[in-house]
Amino acid sequence: MFWFACAECEGFQQHMAQCAARHVCNPDQPWDLCIYCDEVSPGNQLKPQNDRKLQVVYFSLKQLGGLALSKEDSWFIFTAVRSVDVKRLANGMAQLMKRVLEVILVERHDIFRHGILLPLPNNQAWTLCCKLRRLVTFGTSHCCGLGFWIYGVLGI
């Protein structure tokens, strides 16, 4: 997603170039990958039986800065699963987050650690190395309790 955003969105590409100039990024000093999860309710939010609700897991980078992170365009969707389907899983949202974390911490660990080559302005390339360091939840998200567990057990 970061590669596609840099390749296709000139504004995001420019912002990444500015952030890259301000923050060192290498395997020894990776950027902070942030994970955010929340429930989204498309359509009529007052509907008594809203089967369209989604549990969404987003990701971004802390080094993009507070202003950028306050805008939804800086958060990329990792996965979106209907809430009714999450409720059917054994342990619900914890099971979904377990799978998300397996992808980030195990299956794609080397890619994040050694870097992703991103296109920047003037045909330059820049390597993004990142490490999971933040798990953000708001309100009464089902992910909230899991977030506190992860902070304690993994020391994130």
Domain count, the chain: 1
Q: What is the 3-state secondary structure (H, E, C) of 15-35?
A: HHHHHHHHCCCECCECEEEEE
Summarize pLDDT for 40-76 with one digit per residue, the tens. Answer: 888 777 777 777 889 999 999 999 999 999 998 899 9
Which range is least confidently modeled, 3-12, 22-31, 70-79, 103-112? 103-112
Q: Which residues constitute the domain of residue 10? A: 2-154
Strand spans (E) along 8-156: 31-40, 54-61, 76-82, 116-120, 124-128, 130-137
Per-residue pLDDT band for 138 (boundaries 50, 70, 90) equals: low
- Beta bridge partner(s), residue 82: 54
Report if pTM > 0.85: no
Is 36 in a helix, a strand, or coil?
Answer: strand
Nearest Cα residue to 64 out of 110, 2, 123, 122: 2
Contact partners, residue 126, CB within 8 Å, separation at least 6: 16, 17, 20, 25, 117, 118, 120
